[in-house]
Structure 1
Amino acid sequence: MTLAVGVIGLGVMGAEHLRLLREETAGATVTAICDADGERAGRLAQGAAVFADPLALIASDRVQAVVIASPDATHAGLALACLAQGKPALCEKPLAATTAESLRIVEAEVALGRRLLQIGYMRRFDPAYVEMKHAADAGMIGDPVLLHNVHRNAAAPDWFTGPMAVTNSFVHEIDISRWLLGADPVTATVHTAPGGDPLLITMETDKGQLVSTEVFMNARYGYHVHAQLVGRAGTVQMAQPAVTLTNGSLHHGHTYPENWVPRFRDAYRIQMNDWVRSVASGKAAGASAWDGYVATVVAEQVVSALQGAARVNLSLGARPDLYA
C-alpha cells in the first residue's frame, strides 16, 4: 500500500522533502501540496492537488499523512490540526515557538493515547551520529562523560536575531545531545564572545555528564558541524565531513558546504524513508512531540541566560508515559 502524503510549505526544506518523497522514498506518493506562493505550488504540483488552505489539505481525504515544512510560527496550529484529524505528521523543527504551545501539543497527543507526530530532528538519522551512538551504547568507549559539539554557519541572514542562534540552531544540539547521552540537561551556562557571536553553551545532564557547544553563526568558511564523545575508556568523533580529498593548485583537502542541506542530505533521506515505514507499521520512530517540547523549553530557558542570567537551572516537567 502506498502512503498518500500532503506537503505543506515549499521553501528550502519543503522543496527538499517534496523531492525526497518523489525521488528517493519507497512506499509514498505526494497527493497534495500547499504553499503561500500559489505560483510556486503550481510549478511543483506534478499532478498533486494544490491547496491554498493548509487546514483543508490536512482534512482532505486525498491525504493520509502530512509533512509540515511551513514557517516556524505555523507549526503548532498545523500539528494540532493533524492530531484533530488523527493523521500522522512529520513536522519540521521547532514543534512550536513557545513552551506553552509545545505543551499543548503534547497534551493533545497524550489525550489521543498514541504517537502521531514526529519532529524533524534529522541528525538522529545521520550516519556519523548513528555510529557515535552505537559506540556509546555498545560500551566501546566506556561510560560517556563529555560531549563536545561545534555548530558553525557560513553566515547568518539579516533577519537572524541573537536569540535565534539558540532557538533555531542550538536546538539541534539540545536534541542530539539528549539522544546520544540518553540523559536530560539540568543546568546551562552561556558565554558570549564580543559582539554576541560565537556563543559557548555548557550544560550538565541528570547523569552528571558535561556538554559543551560552540554556536558560531558567521564562521565565514562554510557550514561545519562536528561532535566528539568522550568516555572513560576512549573517544568517538566525526571524521571529515566529506568522502573524498582533493589535490590541486597547491592545496590538499576537502570543501565545506554552504548550508545544512548538503551536509545532512543522507540524514534527510533516511529520516523520510524511516517515517514512511513507521506510519505504515504504526510504530512511531524518530523524535517525538515530547522531544520537540524539551528542545523548545530548554532553548527558551537558555535564552534567559543569554539575556543576563549567566547560569540557569533547567526545568522540563514530568515526561508522560506515552513517551517512556
Structure 2
Amino acid sequence: MSDLRIAVLGVGIMGADHAARLTTRISGARVAVVNDYLTDKADQIAAGIEGCRAVADPLDAIADPDVDAVVLATPGPTHEKQLLACLEHRKPVLCEKPLTTDVESALGIVKREADLGTRLIQVGFMRRFDHEYIALKSMLDTGELGRPLVLHCVHRNPAVPPNFDSAMVVRDSLVHEVDVTRFLFDEEIVSIQIIRPAANPAAPQGLADPQIAVMRTASGKHVDVELFVTTGVGYEVRTEVVAANGSAMIGLDVGLVRKSAPGTWGGQITPGFRERFGQAYDTEFQRWVDAVRDGRMVDGPTAWDGYAAAAVCEAGVVSLNSGGPVEVAMVSRDSIPGA
C-alpha cells in the first residue's frame, strides 16, 4: 500500500511539529501539501520536505487530488469551514482542538458527519494516547480500584502567549481535563463552576490566573482542576483518581531524584508540553494513519467528543463571568443517529 498523502493546514508551532512528526517518525504517510496564512512559512516548511509543496488556499489544499487526508492545526475560528470542506470531499481529518469555537457550529459538524453515514473526523485530544492515562483508564475499567468517586487534576504552564485571556484558560487549557474526565469515567459532565482565587501578581493585567474548576458528572462524580498557566516554573499535569478501594495518580514527573549537600532534594520539571506528551502525539498520529489506511478512518476522539468538550467549556466561560455553577446544555447523543 502506498503512503497516505497528507495535507497539513497551519504550520505554526503545532503544525510544524506535526509535519516533522509525519516526515520522520510516522510510517505509512508523507506530507504532500502544506498551507498557512503566512505563505513564507508554508514555503519554508515545504522546501524542507521531499515531494511536498505549499498551497496558498486551505480549501484548495483540502480539495487537492494529491491529498488523501488532512491535519488541521489552523486557528480555531477557521475549523468549521475547513471541516465542512473535508466532509464534502470525504477526506479523513485529524483536527486539533477545538472542533469549532462555539457549541452551535460544533453540533452542526457532528450532524453533518452523521448525515454522511461514516466517521471522518478525529479530534486531537492527545492525552488519550499517553501511556500513563491509558494505564489509569485500564485500572478503572478492570475495577481494580473499585468505584471511582473523585478526580483531582492540576494543569500548570510556565507561561502563555500575550493574547491569552481568562476565557482561554477554560477553552484552551481546561478543555483537556474535560476530555480526560469523559475518557476516564465514560460519562458526560453535567455542571461546572469556575472559581477565581487571588490572582498571580506575575500574570498579565486582566488575566484571571489561577482558576479552579469544579465539575460534576452525570452519576455524581466530583472533579476539581487547578489551572495555573503563568507559574514561571515548568509544565505540570497531574491526575489523581480517588475510588472506593484506593487511589492512583499519574503525572508525577518522576525521573532522576537527586539528594545532595547541603540538604537538597529534587529533580527536573518538564519544561513544556512537547516533552511531556511527545510520545502521546506520536502514538496518536501513527494510530490515525493506520486507521485511515485500513479504512476505519478514526481511531480516537470523535466529533461528538469535540462537541461535548465545547459544551462544557461554553458553560465554564459563563461560570467564569458569573462565579456560580452552570448546567451544561447538550443534546442527547441518541438524538443524532451515527454520532
Same fold (TM over 0.5): yes
Partners in 2 of 1:78 and 1:256 — Cα distance?
Answer: 37
Seen in structure 2, the aligned counterparts of structure 1 residues 19 and 242 have a Cα distance that, compared at 3 Å, is farther
Partners in 2 of 1:304 and 1:218 — Cα distance?
Answer: 22
Partners in 1 of 2:195 and 2:44 — Cα distance?
Answer: 46
Partners in 1 of 2:62 and 2:196 — Cα distance?
Answer: 42
1:69-108 aligned within 5 A:
69-108=73-112
Query: Which residue does 2:205 correspond to in 1?
Result: none
1:1-324 aligned within 5 A:
1=1, 2-45=3-46, 46=49, 47-195=51-199, 196-246=208-258, 251-283=264-296, 284-319=298-333, 320-323=336-339
1:269-299 Cα offsets, whole Å, 9 max, x none, are 0000011011112222211001001111110
Partners in 2 of 1:240 and 1:318 — Cα distance?
Answer: 36
Unaligned regions of 5+ residues in structure 1, if any? none
Identity rate, percent: 37
Letter matched to residue 5 of structure 2: A
| Number of residue pairs the alignment of both structures matches | 323
1:172-227 Cα offsets, whole Å, 9 max, x none, are 11111100011111111221112322111111111111111111111221110000
Question: Which range moved further: 51-60 or 216-225?
Answer: 216-225
Seen in structure 2, the aligned counterparts of structure 1 residues 234 and 113 have a Cα distance that, compared at 3 Å, is same
Partners in 2 of 1:3 and 1:183 — Cα distance?
Answer: 34
Seen in structure 2, the aligned counterparts of structure 1 residues 249 and 41 have a Cα distance that, compared at 3 Å, is farther
Partners in 2 of 1:246 and 1:76 — Cα distance?
Answer: 49
Letter matched to residue 162 of structure 2: D
TM-score normalised by structure 2 residue count: 0.92
Query: Which residue does 2:204 correspond to in 1?
Result: none
Partners in 2 of 1:296 and 1:128 — Cα distance?
Answer: 25
Letter matched to residue 312 of structure 2: V
Seen in structure 2, the aligned counterparts of structure 1 residues 239 and 38 have a Cα distance that, compared at 3 Å, is closer
Seen in structure 2, the aligned counterparts of structure 1 residues 239 and 53 have a Cα distance that, compared at 3 Å, is closer
